[in-house]
Amino acid sequence: MRILMISAAAMMLISAFCLYAINYDTRQFAERVQAQERKLDKAREDIAILKADRAFAGRPEVIGPAARALGLVPAGEAQFVRGSDPDSVAQLPEAGSAEAGATQQ
């Protein structure tokens, strides 16, 4: 009986110690998780700002003039070749020319 009592008491102490250790580890783990979440939140905030910056820099009113300066124009009839007449290659305006810019308008 005594042995049983001593064993039980010992088990209780061991259990209490284990419980404390687990609790301590859990708290530490929770803190690490919180720190990671804070980092994630910060990264998400930074990404949101970068995405907004990219959208701002890529507005059509910014891209448009740059594309026109390169001589890019919307697809038009002259840019297509008839299958029945492959030699009918249209003369496109040269890149950067005034005509290329005017076609866009």
Partner 1 sequence: MTRRVYITPGRPQQGAGAHSETQPVRMRAVAAIAGVAVAFSLLAGQLVRLAILGQGEVSASMSQPIAIAFARPDIVDRNGQLLASDLVMPSLFADPALVVDKDELAEKLGRVLPGLNQAELRKSLADRDKRFVWIRRGMSTRQAEQIHSLGLPGIEFRSELRRAYPSGTLAGHALGFVDVDNKGIAGLERYLDEMGRIEPVSAPSLTKRPPVQLSIDVGVQHAVEEELTAAMATYKARAAVGLVMDVTTGEIIAATSLPSIDPVSPSLTSATINRLTDGTYELGSVFKMFTVAMALDSGAMTLETPVDVRQALRIGRFTITDTHPVNRILSLAEVFRRSSNVGAGKVAMELGAERQKAFFERVGLTGPLKTEAGGVAAVQLPERWGDVDTVTRSYGHGIAVSPLQFAVAAASLVNGGKRVTPTFLRRAVAPEAPDERVISEETSRQFNALMRGNVTERDGTGRRADVPGLEVGGKTGTAELPGKGGYRKKSVISSFFAAFPMSAPKYVTLVSLFEPQPVAESGNEITAGRNAAPVTGKILSRIAPQLDIMPRTAMQ
For residue 89, what are its two tokens?
């290659």
Rounded CA separation 105/88 (Å): 25
Q: Give yes or no for residue 86 binding partner 1 (CB under 8 A).
A: no
Rounded to a whole number of angstroms, the minimum distance from the CB of residue 25 to partner 1 is: 27
Q: Binding mask 56-75 vs partner 1 (x if CB under 8 A, - otherwise)?
A: x-xxxx--x---------xx
The full DSSP string for 21-63 is HHHHHHHHHHHHHHHHHHHHHHHHHHHHHHHHHHHHHT-HHHH
For partner 1, the binding residue among 1, 77, 87, 98 (CB under 8 A) is 77
Q: Give yes or no for residue 39 binding partner 1 (CB under 8 A).
A: no
* Cβ atoms of 71 and 100 closer than 8 Å: yes
Residue 76: φ, ψ to 5°: -130, 175
Q: Residue 24 or residue 80: which is nearer to partner 1 going by CB?
A: 80
Q: Residue 19 or residue 102: which is nearer to partner 1 going by CB?
A: 102
**Contacts with partner 1, residue ranges (CB under 8 A):** 41, 44-45, 48-49, 51-56, 58-61, 64, 74-83, 104-105
